[in-house]
Structure 1
């Protein structure tokens, strides 16, 4: 995955950014109450107890920078038609083409065309926003 800091992004880089956004969204904590907790001190375990314990999977949390990039990708989705945005997001989540086509009721060629068109639209829009604006020349005071 390329990490460019400036300049317009290519459709492939935009695809990578959407995949990163989907991963970031999965890494965010659930939106539910914390539940029960206790205020007892932590149990001090011996080395043998620690070695005998089952391994706990470590949760990798989203970084603030990845959350910012995710929010930027969400803004890009508003530039698209609803079906294009849906296809782009489903592909970013890793869904294969067959379930996407079944869900949207279109052929694979149509779904792929929507996806490719959406990435190109975003790329062109970003490229247009990146160009310097031509300003009118100032009148010189005489």
Structure 2
């Protein structure tokens, strides 16, 4: 693979947030449904049916778990900022959560992605030299 860039890392986090949203809800053990998931036509849809998605593929779940491991390289505030932006929160909502201005939050996200990119590229170089 080519070198990691902040844009590629941000896209991977966005994919991880989408995959997490598509995971099935946790249910009590012992109860399950063997019926397949049905897609309804427009006349028979309820208002919340458009939020229904098919479960993610195993490859998507693996990429999501890899992105979650990357989060451990960041401090807690940066994790919140990066994940909220990947989950399509508006900058004003993220700034309110972080207790700072929009521009400051944008800078902190860019710095976190840059730091993460450097760490990933160093890990790739070390892994390649060990072979």
Range into which the TM-score falls when normalised by the shorter chain: 0.7 to 0.9
1:130-141 to 2 correspondences below 5 Å: 130-131=124-125, 132-133=128-129
Q: Which runs of 5+ in 1 are unaligned?
A: 1-5, 40-50, 135-142
Using the alignment, how far apart are the partners of 2:57 and 2:75 within structure 1?
30
Q: Which residue number corresponds to residue 83 of structure 2?
A: 89
Q: What is the Cα deviation at residue 36 of structure 1?
A: 6.5
Among candidates 115, 125, 129, match of residue 121 of structure 1: 115
Q: Which residue number corresponds to residue 45 of structure 1?
A: none
Q: For structure 1, which segment, 64-73 or 26-35, has the greater mean C-alpha deviation from structure 2 after superposition? A: 26-35
- Structure 1 ranges of 4+ moved more than 6 A: 34-39
Task: State the TM-score, normalizing by the size of structure 2.
Answer: 0.78
1:41-120 to 2 correspondences below 5 Å: 54=44, 59-120=53-114
Number of corresponding residues? 119
Q: What is the Cα deviation at residue 104 of structure 1?
A: 1.2
Q: Which runs of 5+ in 2 are unaligned?
A: 35-40
Using the alignment, how far apart are the partners of 1:7 and 1:101 within structure 2?
33
Q: RMSD in angstroms over aligned alpha carbons?
A: 2.8
Q: For structure 1, which segment, 125-134 or 71-80, has the greater mean C-alpha deviation from structure 2 after superposition? A: 125-134
Q: Which residue number corresponds to residue 43 of structure 1?
A: none
